[in-house]
Structure 1
Amino acid sequence: MKAHFTTYDQALDFIYSKIDFSFTKQQRYSEEVFNLERMFQFMQRLGNPQKAYKTIHVAGTKGKGSISAMISSILVSAGYCTGFYSSPHMLDYTERIQINGISITREDFLEVVNEIYQVIQEIHGLTTFEITTAIAFQHFMKKKIDFGVIEVGLGGRLDATNIITPEISVIASISLDHTAILGDTVEAIAGEKAGIIKEGIPVVVSPQKSSVMQVFKEKSQTVGAPLFQSADLLEYTTRTSQLEFQDFDISFPKFFLDKSTVDEKESIRIKIPLLGKHQMENAGTAFCALKILQEKGYSISNNNIKDGFQHVKWPGRFEILQQQPYVIIDAAHNYESSLRLIDTIHELFPQQKLTLIFGASEDKDIAGMLRNFAQISKMIIFTKSIHPRAADPISMQKLITSPLCDTIIIEDIQKALEFALHESKDGDIILASGSIFIAAAIRKTWFEMYKEKAI
């Protein structure tokens, strides 16, 4: 094999040189732009590596990453060699492709890019995400994984990952996001997410608005896919929450696939390090998926499930970096996820105002998020990530029209964190949110500059 690239950075620059819709204002979600036939051709030329292992396909607006991380952690606990493909990344591109919780090495990444380089050159129009998806599929095949947990990048119907035939499909909570691409109603967005529902393959769906659930019901009936609604199947009780974890009991049917036995109930106590009631619901969705796999004959015990939940790692989701003062990062990036974040703040820090370090992508509902955050903030520090779609801090500041809190612009993220820490005392809260890129930048800065001081 001829080595076209000799370093990881060269390989990554090559991938970024292709069309990357995460960096652009893409206005059309159509077969002309997102071409699955191109992806099928790509995979066929590589020998269809995605068929070498079992897969679980996860779509949704909010929670799909958390659900994927939970499922992956449980499969690893059960002894399965498990690949996990997700996007975007927090700090390093290699985080998108993991096996048993460990990111692909830069050496392996470089090796796979060199292996598939010639095919990439021969297929016109491949995007950055399509190529990255192929790298994941190829790497997973080479490492002989048992399961691949594959998170949808955007939408579902035309997403590059939608060439797999999974053991089970999962759809997380749906809300308004990427409206210029996917549609301006939750029902339209649900229609795109429903594209991952396939004939005869069970689909587990998180709690949804009734009109959204109807979209999934109709699609599953049309293609003959058994539909499982976590909200109808599970009951949560005796929930407790602390800063380190939350735990709760789940009451569930003894059997999922045999619906005639739905009245026979069992229960299990679950402990997870991810905080907020929405993460309890995400855990419930993941739990349903694992119980269905269990019934399909896969060796997954209830102890595996409990252990996997307890040890799941998913950075940037209400992650408390330090206490005294509290520094918390959260990747909430749309209106609904900001509401869930605020609910968690109210639950863990009742009646307390905070300092918010805020930045967002320009295509998000920034005004809506700020209306929510202003209710719990004594000060908002507007900053900006290095992402090309990052919104201008001056424009964001102008959206604060009520005198609920003070505002200041500090465009440099490191200086924004330094200012927030300087102005805070023990017991105060600093929250960085608005986009995964802000959460990631604060996390990187904190680990580089403050971790040792906080210990």
Structure 2
Amino acid sequence: MHTLTKFLDSKPLFYDEIDYNRFPKTYKKIKKYINIPKIVHLIGTNGKGTTGRFLATALFNNNYSVGHYTSPHILKFNERIWINGSDVSDEVLEDAHKKLYTLLDKEDSDALSYFEYTTLLAMLVFEGCDFVVLEAGLGGEFDATAVFEKELSLVTPIDLDHQAFLGSTIEAISKTKLNSIQNNAIISKQKYSKVYDIASQMNKNIIKIEELLNKQDYKKIDKIADFLSLASYLKENLSLAIGALKFLGIDYKKSDFKDAKLFGRLSKIDENIIVDVGHNPLAASSVVKELAPQKYILIYNSYKDKDYEMILKILKPIIKEVQIIDIEGERIENKVSLHNILKHLKIEYSHYYKTEPNNKYLVFGSFSVVERFLKEYIN
């Protein structure tokens, strides 16, 4: 058996087609060997990571043992599996890998995707926890995380993203995501009213966040947001996490959220450099709302399947110039196509070499863009 790193490196991160039956069948075989804690499941397009970290941190600070599973990572795989205030250690990961490899037969181990295998790996790490805050990957009902029994689902804002797998319309994407709800869910403020319409048609206990929180809650949320110096869109994520605490009957206070922010969400890594792992139009709109009217050199690149023309159009009011950072991979858009869009939008562009202290920079895009930038910047 290879070490976890070598084993995962042998698996492709993305597939042109996905076998939606593979993971449920595999999990059914080993279900009786895994002790699954109470699960709060996170679905949606934007804000799953930060909402989950707010909730997990508050639960931990209320003396619960809690795990938080998020993806993808920026610099190290361990970032995906957080337990009781810290990223999981290499030693714990290796032990979980050895155990999982013995539970699965070789055919299943080899067949599972990167995300499917690491989801099971996380559940082994989280055995013994009181709660697991479990973030969906690409979607909803067909996501690997959807197979587990859930205490509660949290629905963050839903927008167009991953259309190749989830559907080409808000209606289709919403149905795919909301179909993962088993019984109880809290839905955050939505950009599209159609999301609410679809939720209302489901025979489930789906509560709007504004129906769950009262004036006193919103006053406390304002104080916590000031305490953490939160961007406005992160305040919405905090509200959803607090809604979950109220549903679970857990009291909360300002200090419960100390050190809860997740890196890569409008994170300031130097006086003149902000990084954000947003990679869709909804995230771009939130960034503009937060940073305007200041102008930034945008360090950027994009996958082919992203609506990068719309993203750049939204970001244009705060763009001084775009500097394209080199990213490797088959899914990365070719430079000619990206150049043509930038020309069409009348945005100046060049190649990224290094940052200068007299310019302001926004590193925005997928985790791969931020990862590549940080590796070059740190070195």
> In the alignment, which residue of structure 2 is the partner of 1:216?
199
What is the CA–CA distance in structure 1 between the aligned matches of 2:153 and 2:374, rounded to whole Å? Answer: 32
In the alignment, residue 49 of structure 1 is paired with which amino acid? I
In the alignment, residue 442 of structure 1 is paired with which amino acid? F
- 1:49-60 matched pairs, under 5 angstroms: 49-51=34-36, 53-60=37-44
Q: Does 1:338 align with 2:293?
A: no
Taking structure 1 as reference, are residues 274 and 138 closer, same or farther at Cα in structure 2, changes over 3 Å only? farther
Q: Does 1:20 align with 2:13?
A: yes
> In the alignment, which residue of structure 2 is the partner of 1:140?
126
- TM-score (normalised: structure 2): 0.91
Q: Which one of the candidate residues 5, 30, 35 is aligned to 1:45?
A: 30
Asked if the contact 2:342–2:348 (Cα under 8 Å) also holds between the matched residues in 1, the reply is no
Q: Please state whether the residue corresponding to 2:179 is helix, strand or coil.
A: helix
Deviations 1:69-89 (A, max 9, x none): 111111111111111111100
What is the CA–CA distance in structure 2 between the aligned matches of 1:218 and 1:250, rounded to whole Å? Answer: 28
Q: Please state whether the residue corresponding to 1:162 is helix, strand or coil.
A: helix
Q: Please state whether the residue corresponding to 1:357 is helix, strand or coil.
A: strand
- 1:7-406 matched pairs, under 5 angstroms: 10-21=3-14, 24=15, 26=16, 28=17, 33-35=19-21, 38-42=23-27, 44-45=29-30, 47-51=32-36, 53-118=37-102, 119-123=104-108, 125-141=111-127, 144-198=128-182, 201-208=183-190, 209-219=192-202, 221=203, 225-234=204-213, 250-251=217-218, 269-271=223-225, 273=228, 275-294=230-249, 300-303=250-253, 306-323=254-271, 326-346=272-292, 351-402=293-344, 404-406=346-348
User: Per-residue deviation at 1:394?
Assistant: 3.4
Count of matched residue positions in the alignment of Structure 1 and Structure 2: 375
In the alignment, residue 229 of structure 1 is paired with which amino acid? K
Deviations 1:160-204 (A, max 9, x none): 111111211111000000011100111110111112211xx3200
What is the CA–CA distance in structure 1 between the aligned matches of 2:221 and 2:165, rounded to whole Å? Answer: 41
What is the CA–CA distance in structure 1 between the aligned matches of 2:345 and 2:172, rounded to whole Å? Answer: 36
Q: Percent identity?
A: 27
Taking structure 1 as reference, are residues 130 and 362 closer, same or farther at Cα in structure 2, changes over 3 Å only? same
Deviations 1:19-58 (A, max 9, x none): 532xx4x3x56xxx1226x43533542634252x111111
What is the CA–CA distance in structure 2 between the aligned matches of 1:112 and 1:43, rounded to whole Å? Answer: 18
Higher relative contact order (CA 8 A, sep 6+): 2
Structure 2 regions of 5+ residues with no counterpart? none
Asked if the contact 1:384–1:390 (Cα under 8 Å) also holds between the matched residues in 2, the reply is no
Structure exhibiting the larger radius of gyration computed from Cα positions: 1
Taking structure 1 as reference, are residues 286 and 79 closer, same or farther at Cα in structure 2, changes over 3 Å only? same
Structure 1 regions of 5+ residues with no counterpart? 237-248, 253-265, 295-299, 450-455
What is the CA–CA distance in structure 2 between the aligned matches of 1:156 and 1:383, rounded to whole Å? Answer: 32
Q: Please state whether the residue corresponding to 2:321 is helix, strand or coil.
A: strand
Q: Does 1:443 align with 2:374?
A: yes
Q: What's the C-alpha RMSD, in Å, of the aligned pairs?
A: 2.3
Asked if the contact 2:43–2:154 (Cα under 8 Å) also holds between the matched residues in 1, the reply is yes
- TM-score (normalised: structure 1): 0.77
User: Per-residue deviation at 1:120?
Assistant: 4.4
Deviations 1:85-131 (A, max 9, x none): 11100111121111013122212212222222241414273222111
